[in-house]
Structure 1
Amino acid sequence: MPGILSKIAMFARTPQGRRLTRQAKRAASDPRKRAQAKQALSRLRGRGQGRH
Protein backbone atom coordinates (compact mmCIF):
# COMPACT_ATOMS: atom_id res chain seq x y z
CA MET A 1 0.00 0.00 0.00
CA PRO A 2 1.55 3.31 -1.07
CA GLY A 3 2.38 5.90 1.57
CA ILE A 4 1.19 9.48 1.58
CA LEU A 5 4.31 10.82 -0.14
CA SER A 6 4.09 8.36 -2.99
CA LYS A 7 0.40 9.18 -3.41
CA ILE A 8 1.27 12.87 -3.62
CA ALA A 9 4.00 12.12 -6.17
CA MET A 10 1.58 10.06 -8.27
CA PHE A 11 -1.00 12.86 -8.16
CA ALA A 12 1.61 15.44 -9.15
CA ARG A 13 2.21 13.51 -12.38
CA THR A 14 -1.46 13.65 -13.41
CA PRO A 15 -2.75 16.50 -15.60
CA GLN A 16 -4.72 17.93 -12.67
CA GLY A 17 -1.66 17.72 -10.41
CA ARG A 18 0.51 19.50 -12.98
CA ARG A 19 -2.10 22.24 -13.35
CA LEU A 20 -2.33 22.74 -9.57
CA THR A 21 1.46 22.84 -9.34
CA ARG A 22 1.59 25.61 -11.95
CA GLN A 23 -1.10 27.56 -10.09
CA ALA A 24 0.77 27.22 -6.80
CA LYS A 25 4.05 28.38 -8.35
CA ARG A 26 2.28 31.38 -9.92
CA ALA A 27 0.65 32.29 -6.59
CA ALA A 28 3.95 31.89 -4.72
CA SER A 29 5.65 34.37 -7.03
CA ASP A 30 2.99 37.05 -6.34
CA PRO A 31 4.00 39.10 -3.26
CA ARG A 32 0.39 39.86 -2.31
CA LYS A 33 -0.65 36.21 -2.47
CA ARG A 34 2.46 35.22 -0.52
CA ALA A 35 1.53 37.65 2.25
CA GLN A 36 -2.03 36.29 2.32
CA ALA A 37 -0.74 32.72 2.62
CA LYS A 38 1.67 33.67 5.39
CA GLN A 39 -1.15 35.38 7.29
CA ALA A 40 -3.42 32.36 6.89
CA LEU A 41 -0.70 30.01 8.16
CA SER A 42 -0.14 32.24 11.17
CA ARG A 43 -3.84 32.08 11.99
CA LEU A 44 -3.87 28.31 11.65
CA ARG A 45 -0.88 27.98 13.92
CA GLY A 46 -2.59 30.12 16.56
CA ARG A 47 -0.34 33.15 16.25
CA GLY A 48 -2.93 35.37 14.62
CA GLN A 49 -5.75 37.43 16.09
CA GLY A 50 -4.02 38.10 19.42
CA ARG A 51 -3.68 34.45 20.48
CA HIS A 52 -0.19 33.72 21.82
Structure 2
Amino acid sequence: MASMMDRIKEYLRGPKGHEHVEKVKTMARDPQNQRKLRELVDRWRTRRTHH
Protein backbone atom coordinates (compact mmCIF):
# COMPACT_ATOMS: atom_id res chain seq x y z
CA MET A 1 0.00 0.00 0.00
CA ALA A 2 1.42 3.40 -1.03
CA SER A 3 1.86 6.10 1.57
CA MET A 4 0.10 9.43 1.25
CA MET A 5 3.39 11.12 0.25
CA ASP A 6 3.99 8.52 -2.47
CA ARG A 7 0.53 9.16 -3.91
CA ILE A 8 1.07 12.93 -3.83
CA LYS A 9 4.45 12.62 -5.57
CA GLU A 10 2.91 10.35 -8.21
CA TYR A 11 0.08 12.83 -8.80
CA LEU A 12 2.48 15.77 -9.14
CA ARG A 13 4.49 13.89 -11.78
CA GLY A 14 1.39 13.42 -13.93
CA PRO A 15 -0.16 15.90 -16.38
CA LYS A 16 -2.89 17.10 -13.99
CA GLY A 17 -0.31 17.60 -11.25
CA HIS A 18 1.88 19.73 -13.54
CA GLU A 19 -1.17 21.76 -14.51
CA HIS A 20 -2.03 22.48 -10.88
CA VAL A 21 1.58 23.32 -9.97
CA GLU A 22 1.71 25.90 -12.78
CA LYS A 23 -1.60 27.40 -11.68
CA VAL A 24 -0.31 27.74 -8.10
CA LYS A 25 2.93 29.35 -9.31
CA THR A 26 0.94 31.89 -11.33
CA MET A 27 -1.28 32.68 -8.34
CA ALA A 28 1.77 33.01 -6.06
CA ARG A 29 3.24 35.73 -8.30
CA ASP A 30 0.11 37.88 -7.90
CA PRO A 31 0.86 40.67 -5.37
CA GLN A 32 -2.74 40.66 -4.10
CA ASN A 33 -2.52 36.93 -3.34
CA GLN A 34 0.83 37.46 -1.61
CA ARG A 35 -0.76 40.11 0.60
CA LYS A 36 -3.71 37.85 1.46
CA LEU A 37 -1.35 35.02 2.37
CA ARG A 38 0.76 37.28 4.59
CA GLU A 39 -2.38 38.48 6.39
CA LEU A 40 -3.52 34.90 6.92
CA VAL A 41 -0.12 33.84 8.28
CA ASP A 42 0.00 36.90 10.56
CA ARG A 43 -3.46 36.11 11.97
CA TRP A 44 -2.47 32.47 12.49
CA ARG A 45 0.75 33.46 14.28
CA THR A 46 -1.07 35.98 16.46
CA ARG A 47 -3.67 33.41 17.50
CA ARG A 48 -1.01 30.83 18.38
CA THR A 49 1.04 33.19 20.55
CA HIS A 50 -1.95 34.38 22.60
CA HIS A 51 -3.12 30.91 23.66
Please indicate the TM-score interval, normalised by the length of the shorter structure.
0.5 to 0.7
Structure 2 equivalent of residue 14 of structure 1 = 14
RMSD (Å), alpha carbons: 2.0
- Bigger CA radius of gyration: 2
TM normalised by structure 2 equals 0.66
**Given the superposition, is the C-alpha separation of residues 11 and 41 from structure 1 closer, same or farther in structure 2, using an over 3 Å criterion?**
farther
- More moved, 12-21 vs 30-39: 30-39
4+ long deviations beyond 3 Å: 37-43
2:3 maps to amino acid: G
Identity %: 23
Q: Number of paired residues?
A: 48
